[in-house]
Amino acid sequence: MAASISSPPRGGFLLPAMAASFCAGIVAATHLMRLRDRERLRKAASRTQKNLMRSSRFGIDVAKFIPFRFQKKQKVVVLGAGSFGTSMAFVSQTAGNETIIYMRDPKQCEAINRQGRNPKYLTDHSLRIEGADNQIRGICTLEDLEKELTPGVVIIHALPCQLTPPWFAEHKDIIPRDALICCTCKGLYLETNQLMSHAILDALDRVDQPLAFLSGPSFAEEIMRGFPTTLVVTSDSSFHAVRVQQLMSNFRTVRVFVSDDPIGVQLGGALKNPLAVGAGMISGLGFGTNTLS
């Protein structure tokens, strides 16, 4: 009697095929989005390249005529006085900028102004900069924040990722249209499954708001302790990215590099967290390098 051959269950090949097709679609969509943004960056860079690079034809540094390059002080307003916001304010002040940090707690604000320390985060570190003409100044009311958000200001946004779009939607009327917003939060906006660049513009209801994104391995405690730290900044406009690079690099402990890939930097910042959690689980289970790889 011939042996019967069992047929594969219905749908046994359908689900893997659907999964593979879905993954391929995601990869293709991401690739097209990156191509679109890179082309947009290329066009923007072509307009500003003569101002950002040394001219070999005339033998002079044309970039020195950019008003932000050698300007001694720029006004930087840091939104959020948590650990990372505090460290970003410290880096900005160390680089010689006029730095204001906004928080909601009046007692925390008073301690920063009077004692030069954040009583909630990084309490062991002084925010006073020796030899600086001005020190980090704290504010805690929306009225004061609106006064400080003058045209051309640089905003370092250091609030949690999921609170970022709602905050901008609620306070968009006090954000100048020419203010450069540098976002430091890493992740996707889960309510709409958007990148921060898209979610912020939707929240502000603007398409031309200058945006930049600061990312990289940067624990606040190590920044405050003066450990050498490298970051990356990216933007649709190379001019905005270089501006953030100039005002946040103190060339002693913090160095910022420029990238022309906003989507890649944002996705990298968002995806590193689940990968780090998985690596920790593997290590906790006692597995080795093979499993981690």
Give the pLDDT band (50/70/90) at residue 17.
low
**What mean pLDDT is predicted for residues 6-16?**
57
Q: Which two tokens stand for residue 170?
A: 């609620």
Tokens of 73: 């002080």
The stretch 277-292 carries a mean pLDDT of: 85
pLDDT of 45-104, one tens digit each? 544 444 444 443 445 444 344 444 444 578 999 999 999 999 999 999 988 889 999 999
Residue 18 has what pLDDT?
66
Can you tell me the mean pLDDT for 114-134? Answer: 86
Task: Write the pLDDT tens digit of every residue in 144-192.
Answer: 999 999 998 999 999 998 999 999 999 999 999 999 999 998 888 888 8
Assess whether 272 carries a catalytic annotation: yes
The encoded tokens of residue 128 equal 């006073």
Contacts of 179 (CB under 8 A, 6+ apart): 149, 151, 152, 153, 154, 155, 209, 210
| Residue 148: CB atoms within 10 Å | 17
Separation of alpha carbons 149 and 175, rounded Å:
7
Give phi and psi for 34, each to the nearest 5. -70, -40
SS3 content of the chain, % helix, strand, coil (to 5): 45, 15, 40
- Tens digit of each residue's pLDDT (9 = 90 or more) over 240-283: 999 999 888 876 788 899 998 888 888 888 887 788 888 888 88
- The tokens 């009583």 sit on which residue? 119
User: 181-228: per-residue pLDDT in tens?
Assistant: 999 988 888 888 888 889 999 999 998 899 999 998 889 999 999 898
**H or E, element range at 280:** helix 262-284
Strand ranges of the sheet holding 75-79, from the earlier edge strand across to the other edge: 137-139, 98-102, 75-79, 154-157, 180-183, 211-215, 229-234, 254-259
Tell me how far apart the alpha carbons of residues 37 and 43 are, in angstroms, rounded to a whole number: 10
Q: Is the pLDDT at 127 greater than 70, yes or no?
A: yes
Question: CA-to-CA distance for 222 and 246, rounded, in angstroms?
Answer: 21
The answer, yes or no, to whether residue 32 has pLDDT greater than 70, is no
Catalytic residue, from 50, 64, 107, 272: name it. 272
Question: Is 42 a residue whose pLDDT tops 80?
Answer: no
Q: What is the model's pLDDT at position 13?
A: 61
CA 249, 251, 252, 256 dihedral sign is: positive
